[in-house]
Amino acid sequence: MGKLIIKGGEKISGEIRVQGAKNAVLPILAATVMADGISVIKNCPCLRDVDKTDLVLERLGCNVKREADTVTVDARGMCDCRICEDLMREMRSSIVFLGAIISRCKKAVVSMPGGCPIGLRPIDLHLKALRALGVEIREEHGYIKCEAAEITGGGIHLDFPSVGATENAMLAAVCAKGSTTISNAAREPEITDLGNFLNKMGARVHGAGSSVITIDGVEKLRGAEYTIMPDRIVAATYLAASAITGGEMCLRGVNPRDMRAMLHVLTEMGAEIKCEKNRIIQTAPNRLKSVHTIRTMPYPGFPTDIQSPFMSLAATARGTSVFIENIFENRFQHVDELTRMGADIKVEGRSAVVRGVKELQGANVVARELRGGAALVVAALAANGITAVSGTEFIDRGYESIEKYLLSCGANIRRE
């Protein structure tokens, strides 16, 4: 297990150009298999999850080349429609390949993705959406086997605005016969990014980013060039890293309009936020105020992915904050570790009551999942003394060289 050794107390101030969005690049790379051509994806972050997605593409027979932040995918040689167990277990979000593979090959076999540290992560909504498009699905021996003589457009209603299910439905529908309507679709900005990329490939997707998406099926798709949107969760994590230390942070290459719910909370906690076209400038007070209640909700509500880093903020704020986690059933694993650092947090089911303390203490803590790990880094930056955060393999799944960015803003941090 890799470690980050952090000596707290430094103000985190400076300027960061935010990386491309992990949760946009994964479905967009999956979509490239549908083109009998070459796609060039720019602003790809250097992350373990992107590396694993590149591996899935290669196993499917695509030719993948990475140069700096650009990934070039030649899908003309695609010759397989299966994603095996080891890759699915390594990265459950590979499930988003399902719709793309079926669209290209009219069949697909993937290992059941299974759960992950933050919850069971069922895929019933994904499969229901695909069945609505005429895909026959058999679940046997731990595999999902899909087949469709023809994919026919239809009406899909999602009981919950699932991001992944919306993405799989879009990927399966773009070359269907006829039109498809997806209602109660997820509205996350990453969905809009996927819709924009699909349209550059020649698809006819309307309303991506709204709760009703309509797709007119087309014969075929071509390779396209696309630049991934900035990562709004990573952006908010760096704002939190600066805010907890009373620093001044300027983020470049961000879309403030995608971050309204998070910026609103930071303002409520006492940070001064100035938004320009693609920049956010934040000045934090020496000590933040508590936030009355944070409820995680589907977009445009407060994102579940930033719940844990913002709980670190609340842990040293003045007053008591309440967090309610409505999206995943097991997303408070960072609480035990923050408590080891002196935080005063009481968890009752999906609620966590955080009573701010003046100062956290450095300690040895363990990251058990991606965003909880980021929360421990944020807390360590303000803690008194040295913190060793182990489990960097989780953090590296979503944060590109986190220590490099924080070092450039004055942190006392090193990777071991």
Measured CA distances, 399 to 96, 205, 250, 374, 403 (Å): 21, 30, 18, 8, 9
Q: Which long-range contacts (CB under 8 A, 24 or more apart) does 89-92 make?
A: 89/114, 90/52, 91/49, 91/52, 91/53, 91/56, 92/116, 92/121
The answer to whether 389 and 373 have CB atoms below 8 angstroms apart is: yes
Can you count the helices (H) and strands (E) in the chain? 14, 24
**C-beta of 46: minimal distance to ligand EPZ in Å?**
16
Minimum distance between the CB of residue 302 and ligand EPZ, rounded to whole angstroms?
11
Query: Binding residue for ligand EPZ (CB under 6 A) from 103, 162, 196, 312?
Result: 162
Q: How far is the CB of 75 from ligand EPZ (least distance, A)?
A: 21
Provide the edge-to-edge strand list for the sheet that holds 179-183. 155-157, 179-183, 212-216, 205-206
User: Going by C-beta distance under 8 Å and a sequence separation of 6 or more, which residues neighbour residue 349?
Assistant: none
Q: Binding segment for ligand EPZ among 116-124, 133-141, 279-287, 400-408 (CB under 6 A)?
A: 116-124
* Positions marked active-site: 116
Query: Which of 102, 165, 175, 406 is in the footprint of ligand EPZ by CB under 6 A?
Result: 165
**Token pair for 273:** 């936020």
Taking CB under 6 A as the rule, which mask of x and - marks residues 328-367 in contact with ligand EPZ? x---------------------------------------
Give the pair of three-digit tokens for residue 333: 């694993």
Q: CA 60 from chain center: how many Å? A: 24
Q: Is 88 helix (H, G, I), strand (E, B) or coil?
A: helix
Query: Closest approach of Cβ 106 to ligand EPZ, in Å?
Result: 22
Site for ligand EPZ in 277-306 (CB under 6 A): 304-305
Interaction of residue 53 with ligand EPZ, rule CB under 6 A = no
Contact between 160 and ligand EPZ per CB under 6 A: yes
Query: Is the Cβ of residue 121 or residue 145 nearer to ligand EPZ in the bound state?
Result: 121
- Residue from 327, 354, 378, 402 in contact with ligand EPZ (CB under 6 A): 327
> Measured between alpha carbons, how far apart are the two ends of the chain, in Å?
9
Among 26, 185, 269, 335, binds ligand EPZ (CB under 6 A): 26
Minimum CB–partner distance for residue 141 and ligand EPZ (Å): 20
Q: Segment contacting ligand EPZ (CB under 6 A): 38-46, 162-170, 339-347, 408-416?
A: 162-170
Site string for ligand EPZ, 117-146 (x = CB under 6 A): --x-xxxxxx--------------------
Residue identified by tokens 């549908």 is 34
When the beta carbons of 164 and 362 are compared against ligand EPZ, the nearer one is 164
Tokens matching residue 400: 């590109």
Kindly indicate which of the ranges 67-75, 136-144, 163-171, 220-228 contains the residues binding ligand EPZ, using the contact rule CB under 6 A: 163-171
Name the residue whose CB lies closest to ligand EPZ. Answer: 164
Q: Which is nearer to ligand EPZ, 305 or 403 (CB)?
A: 305
- As given in the structure block, the two tokens for residue 178 are 């006829």
* CA-closest candidate to residue 237, choices 383, 390, 376: 376
Helices 22-31 and 163-173: crossing angle in degrees, nearest 10, is 20
The CB-of-35 to ligand EPZ minimum distance in angstroms stands at: 21
CA-wise closest residue to 61 among 85, 33, 40 = 33
Tell the residue number behind the tokens 């960072």, with chain if given: 334
Of residues 19, 23, 94, 103, which one binds ligand EPZ by CB under 6 A?
A: 23
* 398 near ligand EPZ (CB under 6 A): yes
| Beta carbon of residue 163, minimum distance to ligand EPZ (angstroms, whole number) | 4
Contact status: 90 vs ligand EPZ (CB under 6 A): no
| Contact criterion met (CB below 8 Å) for 72 and 39 | yes
Residue with tokens 């991606």: 370
CB of 198 to ligand EPZ, least distance (A): 16
At 320, which amino acid appears? T
Residue 370 within binding range of ligand EPZ, rule CB under 6 A:
yes
Please give the Cα distance from 75 to 398 (Å, whole number).
25
* Residue ranges in contact with ligand EPZ by CB under 6 A: 22-23, 26, 93, 119, 121-126, 160, 162-165, 186, 188, 304-305, 327-328, 370-371, 398
